[in-house]
């Protein structure tokens, strides 16, 4: 009988070949942009776009709150409220933008 390459469990060369083929297939899917971690609705490009939006929001957060330590307590509360309003407006705008337009897709890598 011939040993057929298959899932883990068996030992030897067929198992190594099966794993190698699987890894090469995964790498090819990654490079072609076909790799989808969360189904057809969410591609790597979309996840990268979301990450970029999160990074911009984090930078805005740090920029807004970096000055608070130097403020007197009385002004700090007002500044915190203003900063929170700015952050919420920014998030709301980004969510509306994401809903109103398709997330850009890049050509194959």
Flag whether the pTM goes above 0.75. no
What pLDDT, on the 0 to 100 scale, is given for residue 37? Answer: 61
61 & 75 share domain: yes
Count of structural domains within the chain: 2
Containing domain of residue 18, as a range?
Answer: 7-36
Place of tokens 């997330």: 103
46 & 77 share domain: yes
100 & 75 share domain: yes
- Please report, in tens digits, the pLDDT of each residue of the chain (109 residues total): 344 445 555 556 788 888 999 999 988 887 887 766 666 666 777 778 888 988 988 988 888 888 888 888 889 889 989 988 988 888 888 777 666 655 444 443 3
Flag whether 2 is in a domain: no
Distance separating alpha carbons of residues 52 and 72, to the nearest angstrom: 34
Structure tokens at 30: 């990654």
């Amino acid at each position: 009988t011939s040993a057929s390459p298959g899932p883990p469990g068996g030992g030897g060369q067929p198992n190594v070949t099966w794993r190698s083929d699987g890894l090469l297939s995964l790498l090819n899917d990654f490079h072609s942009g076909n790799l989808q971690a969360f189904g057809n609705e969410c591609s790597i490009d979309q996840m990268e776009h979301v990450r970029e939006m999160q990074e911009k929001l984090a930078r805005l957060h740090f920029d807004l709150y970096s000055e608070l330590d130097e403020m007197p307590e009385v002004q700090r509360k007002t500044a915190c409220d203003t900063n929170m309003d700015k952050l919420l407006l920014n998030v709301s705008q980004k969510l509306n933008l994401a809903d109103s337009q398709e997330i850009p897709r890049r050509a194959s890598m």
